[in-house]
Amino acid sequence: MIEFGHLTHVGLRRDLNEDTYYADSELGLWLVADGMGGHEYGEVASALARDAIVREIRAGTPLPQAIRIADEEIIRTSRRRNDALPMGTTVVAARVNGNRFEVAWVGDSRVYLWRDGQLAQLSQDHSYVQELIANGAITQEQARSHPHRNVVTQALGVTDPRNLNVESMTGELKPGMQLLLCSDGLTEEVDDANIARVLARHDCSAQECVDSLVAAALDGGGSDNITVVLVRSH
């Protein structure tokens, strides 16, 4: 059985929520998309991504391919409107089918897996600081306060489709496991140890855990839009 919770919040410093999400246990699809701040119409790009991916999954398209189709649609829409700047969005999505899951992502929205009392980040941020970490130039801890930590190296609608890196992985979803999808508005304010602390609580529903995580991000400063989706297997 699948239980899930979801919430999005504009945060404390933004006027507009450019994040969006989708949560549907019948379709077995959950996703978070973070429209690019500074790019005009970030909320349009994230909504376009969501709608295209949902439509494609319903039609039986594989998840990575659905994300590529969403990318093409955003680019087409942007060209049609003659936008001065391309509109972009990150996306992280999870599909659950029986006891298997598949996750796919572009950008720095993340997916974590909670298993056997441990939190593991499944996705790897497509970001400037992640490249610096990979090259050994900075540590994970330094990345948290790096001035360019919000610079993504991949996004739908912005990256040349030929260079678009839709990463995906699959795994087994056993009872007791949890998949957490979130925009960087959560991870910017709440570190992995505190995320793990919330997911470890046996006394709260998936929705209560989500509410606690968003509250923690707001307590941390709420510098960006915050979106959290939690999928729990029973």
Mean pLDDT of 145-172: 95
Domain that holds residue 20: 2-233
Mean pLDDT of 86-99: 95
Number of separate helices (H) and strands (E) present in the chain: 7, 10
CATH of the domain at 96: 3.60.40.10
3-state secondary structure of 197: helix
Residue 213 in this model has a pLDDT that exceeds 80 = yes
Number of compact structural domains in the chain: 1
Residue 229: strand pairing partners: 6, 181
Q: What is the structure's pLDDT at 83?
A: 78
Whole-prediction pTM value? 0.97
3-state secondary structure of 134: helix
**If DSSP states are collapsed to H, E and C, what string results for 4-62?**
EEEEEECCCCCCCCCEEEEEECCCCEEEEEEECCCCCCHHHHHHHHHHHHHHHHHCCCC
- Picking from 77-81, 110-114, 222-226, which range would have the lowest pLDDT averaged per residue? 77-81
Q: How many CB atoms lie within 10 A of CB 54?
A: 18
Do 106 and 67 contact (CB within 8 A), yes or no?
yes
Write out the two tokens for 24. Answer: 């549907």
36-78 pLDDT, tens per residue? 855 568 999 999 999 999 999 999 999 999 999 999 999 999 9
- Percent with pLDDT over 70 in the chain: 98
Q: How far apart are CA 208 and CA 223, in angstroms?
A: 22
Q: What is the structure's pLDDT at 84?
A: 78
Mean pLDDT of 111-132: 96
Between 84 and 166, name the one with better pLDDT.
Answer: 166
182-212 pLDDT, tens per residue? 999 999 999 999 999 999 998 999 999 999 9
Between 81 and 173, name the one with better pLDDT.
Answer: 173
Q: How far apart are CA 190 and CA 125, in angstroms?
A: 16
Residue 8 in this model has a pLDDT that exceeds 90 = yes
| Banded model confidence at residue 81, pLDDT cuts 50, 70, 90 | confident
Residue 212's alpha-carbon distances to 55, 142, 175, 207, in angstroms, are 31, 26, 22, 9
